Amino acid sequence: MKPNSLTLLWPLLLLTAHCDCWRVLIANSLAGGSHQTVSLYLANLLADNGHHVTYVSTNIPKKLHTGVVKLELPTATRNLNHLIASNVAAKVNGEGGTWGDTFEAFRKLTHFCQDFYEEPNVQMLIKSDQQFDLLITFGASDCCGLSLGQHLKINNSALHIPGPFLIPSQIHNLGIPIYASSHNLEGVAFADSTPLRQSMFARAKRLIKGLVADLFNSLLFRYAIDTVAYKHLPGYTGYRNLYGSVKMIFMHYHPHPLVDLPLPVGPGVINLGGTVCVEGYREEDIPIEMREFVDASPGFIVISFGSHVPTVTEKEQELWMKVISNLPYSVVWRLADHSLSLPDNIRTYKWLPQQALLQHPKIKLFISHGGYASKIESFCAGTPILFVPRFAEQFDTAELYTKLGIAEQVLMKPGETTVEEVTTKISKTIEVHSKTVSEISRQLLQTRITDNQVLGYLDMAVSGHGLLPGYQPWWQYFYLDLILVPLVVIVLVRCLIRKFRSSN
């Protein structure tokens, strides 16, 4: 008997009938390195498990799953890359850094959501009637993603924040008690188990800085970003009202005491740092020409200053070339453009398969800016790091790991940093820290979060379960209970003393 079309299609219909697929929107508008690492991981994990993923972002990753719907933002990508690259280069090379430069950078960033909303692909989403089960968006640009999610009536959101102490406004809105004074950013043990101590003055200073940053961010979002969202999104109700849809937070952290700081964040905050930990070297992930170069080396070093610093000035190039020419190792450097002749032991590339190179058996050292993703990838691979911070939190990261005794740092200062200093730091990092970082790698691989655990958390978010505590009243958040109680006690005691004296 000739089978009819229904007979041929019944297996597909059966699968479809029982499919529990989610429709996920990943809005990664301001895509820095760590944001891109996390968004790529989540997008591919969801697509591999049969979920429908729409990925709208600047700087679309090349390794996205083929089933992911990619919505590019060409204008926003160009403006963002130009803004960050020019400001970072100016700061690194001592050509900027004035209050005027800082104000101009923030002014441009406040208009970033406008670039985002005016992109044709985002306009298509705004005007469409598409329905999504889950929104995943990213801190520092969550205003763009969460407001788009509110417009599309997505009630379940997961927010990625790479460093919660860097973004106090978001933490304040989510009610999580991790102001800079409520936990000790330096309160982890040294390699010799000697704990660092913070004075009351240091904690008070951190609290004041946190309050000022919170106020600044609140004003920035309310009077700059909100204005743009009201203009482009009908029914928008304000930045602070967006957080009711956030069910959980992902952080690019790993709760290892020598890798990331132990943060008292409570339930609903999931550490994704270990997800980039890959066990075992895969030679097929490295292009043939690059692989032949590193395989033939006596050992090699990887240099990468992150996605936001594609070029390095000629003066700094000269310094690195002098250092590299004297090294007994080969060097693979992510460098978009160079004008100098290269020593025989160096190759430059516009892009590197960084994770695969860090896993290579002949890797000796990673010279890095200290971004979140790069740091975790290096520790997972057991590769020692020489930090060369470029901007923002990278200076704090480099200083912390130097104090902990598991890395070294070089601060690039035009006219001051010498070849001898850099060469010494390279030798010390390789000789002293390799064993410690190898042990950290073993521990990270044993304690990393699994893909199934991540899917379980996302399932809870899709089901509408709010995992964030939201338990801290505003008077506790601002320590008013701690401040007012002693004052009230002092006033009462003084009143009792006066009453006692007057009665006598």
Higher pLDDT, 9 or 424: 424
Residue 284: the pLDDT is: 86
The tokens describing 482, both together, are 């701690």
Higher pLDDT, 431 or 282: 431
pLDDT at residue 291 above 60?
yes
Q: Do 165 and 291 fall into the same domain?
A: no
**What is the per-residue burial (b if ≥16 Cβ within 10 Å, else e) of 472-491?**
beeeebbeeeeeeeeeeeee
| CATH code assigned at 230 | 3.40.50.2000
Q: Do 306 and 378 fall into the same domain?
A: yes
Inside any domain, residue 329: yes
Q: Do 205 and 67 fall into the same domain?
A: yes
Query: If pLDDT is split at 50, 70 and 90, which confidence band does 252 have?
Result: confident
Inside any domain, residue 468: no
Query: If pLDDT is split at 50, 70 and 90, which confidence band does 351 have?
Result: confident
Higher pLDDT, 434 or 144: 434
Inside any domain, residue 305: yes
**Alpha-carbon gap, residue 302 to 385, rounded angstroms:** 10
Inside any domain, residue 243: yes
Higher pLDDT, 187 or 118: 118
Residue 198: the pLDDT is: 54
pLDDT at residue 41 above 80?
yes
Q: Do 204 and 175 fall into the same domain?
A: yes
Q: For residue range 454-497, what is the model confidence (pLDDT) as tens digits?
A: 999 999 999 988 887 655 566 665 667 677 878 888 899 989 88
The proportion of the chain whose per-residue pLDDT surpasses 70, expressed as a percent, equals 72
Q: Do 311 and 261 fall into the same domain?
A: no
pLDDT at residue 46 above 80?
yes
Inside any domain, residue 197: yes
340-361 average pLDDT score = 88
Lowest model confidence (mean pLDDT) among 47-51, 53-57, 259-263? 259-263
Which long-range contacts (C-beta less than 8 Å, at least 24 apart) are formed by 251-256? 251/160, 251/161, 251/162, 251/163, 251/164, 252/34, 252/37, 252/38, 252/160, 252/162, 252/372, 252/373, 252/376, 254/376, 254/379, 254/444, 254/447, 254/448, 255/447, 256/440, 256/443, 256/444, 256/447
Q: How many domains does the chain have?
A: 2
Provide the CA 298 distance to its chain's centre, in angstroms.
Answer: 34
Q: Do 325 and 262 fall into the same domain?
A: no
**Alpha-carbon gap, residue 124 to 122, rounded angstroms:** 5
Provide the CA 318 distance to its chain's centre, in angstroms.
Answer: 31
246-255 average pLDDT score = 79
pLDDT at residue 385 above 90?
yes
Residue the block writes with tokens 């889950």: 134
Residue 376: the pLDDT is: 84
Q: Do 90 and 231 fall into the same domain?
A: yes
Residue 28: the pLDDT is: 80
Q: Do 295 and 262 fall into the same domain?
A: no
Q: Do 251 and 293 fall into the same domain?
A: no
pLDDT at residue 94 above 70?
no
Q: For residue range 59-83, what is the model confidence (pLDDT) as tens digits?
A: 888 889 999 999 998 888 777 777 6
Higher pLDDT, 84 or 442: 442
Q: For residue range 147-197, what is the model confidence (pLDDT) as tens digits?
A: 899 999 998 888 877 654 445 556 666 666 544 334 444 433 333 334 445
- Beta strands (DSSP E) in 278-362 are 300-304, 330-334, 346-349
Q: Do 122 and 80 fall into the same domain?
A: yes
Q: Do 230 and 319 fall into the same domain?
A: no
Inside any domain, residue 92: yes
Residue the block writes with tokens 């960084």: 354
Inside any domain, residue 495: no
Instruction: Indicate the SS3 state at residue 342.
Output: coil
Q: Do 247 and 386 fall into the same domain?
A: no
Residue 157: the pLDDT is: 87
Average pLDDT, the chain: 78
Residues spanned by the domain of 387:
283-447
Cβ-based neighbour number of residue 408 at 10 Å: 23
Residue 186: the pLDDT is: 42
pLDDT at residue 295 above 80?
yes
Give the end of a domain, one of 447, 475, 497.
447
pLDDT at residue 31 above 70?
no
Inside any domain, residue 163: yes
